Amino acid sequence: MPKKIRLGILGGGGDSLIGVLHRVAAYINDNYEIVGAVFNPDHGKSLDFARELDIPINRIYKDFDTLIEEEGKLPEEERIQVCSVQTPNFLHFPMAKKLLDNGFHVICEKPMTMDYTEAKALEEAHQKSGKVFALTHTYTGYPMVRQIRQMIKDGALGKIHKVDARYYQGWINPIIHNEEQRSAVWRLDPKKAGISSCMGDIGVHAFNLLEFTTGLKVKSLLCDFNYIYDDNQMDVDGTVLVRLDKHVKGVIRASQVATGEENGLAIRIYGEKGGFVWEQENPNYLYYFVEGKPLQVYKPGHAYNSKLSLDGTKLPPGHPEGIFDSMANIYLGAAKAIRGEAYDDGEFPTMEDGVRGMNFIESTVHSHKQGNVWIDLD
C-alpha cells in the first residue's frame, strides 16, 4: 500500500472547528492525502473551499451519493480508501452505513448514530464489510489518558473503588434564555441532534473516557436531566449515577450551562492503592496519588511512561501537546489498521465504543423520562 492513504471528507467545510481539527490531525503524521470531498451541501461553496485548501476540484462532488457512485467507477488504486464523516449528527448513520456497504473504511464523529437501534444496524454493516471503523472520541488520544489506561492495567490502583467523570461547558447559557435563539440552534433540535443534547454531545465523552481508562463497563445507570425551560426539548445539563463491573460505583456529570466553563472535561479514579486525576484543559499533567506517599505528577515524553503513551507523544518533555495531537493519534491508529499493521487496542475507539455510547445516551434519556429509575445497559 502506498504511504499516503487516500482520504475523503464529508462535511467540515468553512470555519467548522471539527473540520480544521480533522484535517490537521490527518496531516500531522503524514499518513493521509485528501483526494475527494463534499464539504458543504452547496456545491459552489464546496468548490470554493477546496480551492482555499488547494485541493483539486475534479473530485469535489455535488453530494454524498455522487461521491459513492463516481469513486466506485475509479480503479482501486485511485479511489478513496477511507472517508471521514464530520457532518451533523443525523447524517452519521446513513453516511457511515453506505460507506461500509460500498467498501470504504470509515472515520466518524460522535455520536455515532441518532439512536441505539441505528447503532446496532451499523454494527451489523461493519461486521459484514470487514472494513476499519474508527470513532473520534478525541480525548482518548491524549498521552496522559493513555498512561492512565496502561497503569490501571498494570495494577497501579489495585481494586478500583470510585470513578468521577465530569464535562462542563457554558456555551449554551447565553442562548438558552432566549426562546428565538434556542429554537435556531441545531444541537437543541431533536431532528438534527438526536434524543439528547448535553449527554449526547459531551456526556458521552465522559462515559467513554471512564470506560477507556478503567477497562470496566457501565452495567446500569440512573439519570436526572435539566432542560431549564418547559418548551426546550433537549437536555442541557445532567447527572448520572453509574454502577460498573466489580462493584465499582461512580458519577458522570455533564453541563452545557455551567456558566463561564470552557471545555472542562476531567476524570478522577480512586482505588485501594491510590488515585488518578486528569483534566483536559491541563492535559500534560497526570496526578497520581499513592497511599502514604507524596503526590506524583506524570508528564508526556518521559521514558517512565508506557509504550502506548510514548507512541502518542510527538514532542520532547516540556512542550505542550493538545487536541490536534490527540486527534492525530486516533488517525494514526486508524492508518495502522487500514494498512493491516499491528496496533494497540487503545489507539482508536471502535464500533463497540460507538454502540456502547449510543446505549448510554439512550439509557440516560429513558432513566430521566421514567422518573429517574435505574436502567440496565445491554
Q: pLDDT band for position 193 (50/70/90)?
A: confident
* Residue 377 placed within a domain: no
Which whole number is the average pLDDT over 69-98?
Answer: 96
Same domain, 101 and 163: no
Residue-level pLDDT at 1: 55
Query: Which among 88, 118, 138 is the end of a domain?
Result: 138
Q: pTM higher than 0.85, yes or no?
A: yes
Number of independent structural domains in the chain: 2
* Residue 328 placed within a domain: no
Torsion of CA 103, 105, 110, 111, to 10 degrees: 30
Distance CA(327)–CA(323), nearest Å, equals 6
Q: pLDDT band for position 192 (50/70/90)?
A: confident
Q: Which residue's C-alpha cell is 498512561?
A: 147
Query: Which among 112, 138, 164 is the end of a domain?
Result: 138
If you average pLDDT over every residue of the chain, what do you get? 95
Taking CB atoms within 8 Å and a gap of at least 24, the contacts of 191-195 are 191/90, 192/88, 192/89, 192/90, 193/88, 193/89, 193/90, 193/234, 194/89, 194/90, 194/111, 194/113, 194/114, 194/115, 194/361, 195/114, 195/115, 195/361, 195/362, 195/365
Residues 187 and 207: beta-carbon distance below 8 Å = no
Reported as a single tens digit per residue, the pLDDT across 337-369 is 999 999 999 999 999 999 999 999 999 999 999
Q: Please report, for residues 8, 33, 101, 304, the alpha-carbon distance to residue 69 in angstroms, rounded to integers and kept in the order given.
A: 14, 20, 12, 50
Locate all alpha helices (DSSP H) within 228-316, ordered by sequence: 307-311
Same domain, 125 and 186: no
Residue-level pLDDT at 153: 97
**365's grid cell:** 434519556
Same domain, 298 and 158: yes
Same domain, 233 and 253: yes
* pLDDT reading at 186 higher than 90: no
Torsion of CA 366, 166, 85, 129, to 10 degrees: -70
Same domain, 230 and 363: yes
The DSSP bridge partners found for residue 253 are 166, 239
Q: Please report, for residues 32, 141, 214, 287, 346, the alpha-carbon distance to residue 150 in angstroms, rounded to integers and kept in the order given.
A: 28, 13, 9, 15, 9
Distance CA(247)–CA(376), nearest Å, equals 14
DSSP state of 89: G
CATH of the domain at 57: 3.40.50.720
Query: Which among 76, 111, 138 is the end of a domain?
Result: 138
Whether residue 111 has a cis bond before it, omega within 30° of 0: yes
Same domain, 52 and 147: no
Residues 202 and 191: beta-carbon distance below 8 Å = no
Same domain, 240 and 277: yes
* pLDDT reading at 181 higher than 60: yes
Same domain, 272 and 252: yes
What is the residue range of 275's domain?
143-315+351-369
Same domain, 152 and 130: no
Strand 249-255 and strand 160-168: the pairing is parallel
Q: pLDDT band for position 378 (50/70/90)?
A: confident
Chain centroid to CA 1? 28
Same domain, 167 and 293: yes
The DSSP bridge partners found for residue 37 are 9, 60
